[in-house]
Amino acid sequence: MESRNGNEVVVVTGASAGVGRAVAREFASHGAHVGLLARGEEGLEGARRDVEAAGGKALALPTDVSDHEQVEDAAERVEREFGPIDIWVNDAIAVVFAPFWEIPAEDFKRSTEVCYLGTANGTRAALKRMRERDRGTIVQVGSALSYRAIPLQSAYCGSKHAIRGFTDSVRTELMHENSGIHITMVQLPAVNTPQFSISKALLPNHPQPVPPIYQPEVPAKAIYWAAHHRRREIYVGTSSVAVILGNKLFPALADRYLARTGYDSQQTSEPVDENRPNNLYNPVAGDHGAHGIFDEESHSESPQLWATTHRSWLVAGALGLAGAAYAAARKL
């Protein structure tokens, strides 16, 4: 898929920081023209510099994805500047760390509007253009938490579950009309992003991802791969596979385990000020980059991801070994 300029045109929401920032860089390293959507202008400017340094071309568009008109305007601007959108990546989130009953109703609504409705708004804007051409790919950035919810993140987990159901529904609608558009979901593990330092936290101690933790470049590679292969869904990290499959087999056991461990495992030993600046309603000043504060604990590679993106090789190798073993057995 290429634009009129000969380069892929990609839109990434949540592009100013975290996974979205790493995704923008990954596509740029392959020469893409990238529309960067996020609210924070300083972060967007940093993302623009990253994209251009990586070999791509960038268009920074301050956008609140919860507002469908802003998303539509941004999509129109991308196509006007770069040409037809080939790939749309929905990644924007806004998290509140707290027990559900301590989250103000307006905060819960706001988180849901960004995480879930932001994804729906991005998908709508992408489909409006892609259906006219009967081509394109939409990548929904999900989480293992879209299968197994955990305490202290009810709005985020609820949104990720909703995104999975929404995506399945849209996929079947596209299949009904024999569409050439592909929609896929990439389920992420815990990732070292700035969200744990800039999200709203009504907790005694600083939020942290539940180990094992991966650097954002790992899911960025998975998202790039998903955008170019017609796989329905991809799990990233052995932990994601274990969580998703384990929950299917032993959901009640997972409930009890998380009730016992889920609070402590999501907090460091350092206290957090509940009045610290957070990005729920407005961006936090500064360019926060892709990485959070957990570099030392984070993995830069995932053997599981390599295996899932090379499974045809593995299957072929396994069949070859089985055939050789069978042939050897017959000679005995």
Pick the closest to residue 265 from 186, 198, 196, 200 (CA basis): 196
Find tokens 């470049």 and name the residue.
217
**Looking at 116, 147, 156, 224, which residue is catalytic?**
156
**N-to-C CA span, the chain:** 52
- Quote the CA–CA distance of 234 and 252 in Å, as a whole number: 25
Q: What is the dihedral of CA 49, 281, 207, 241, to 10 degrees?
A: -70
Q: Is 156 a catalytic residue?
A: yes
Contact 134, 180 (CB under 8 A): yes
Phi/psi of residue 257, nearest 5 degrees: -60, -45
- Classify 112 in phi/psi space as left (phi over 0), alpha (psi -120 to 50) or beta: alpha
> How many CA atoms are closer than 13 Å to the CA of 95, on its beta-carbon side?
23
Active-site residue set: 156
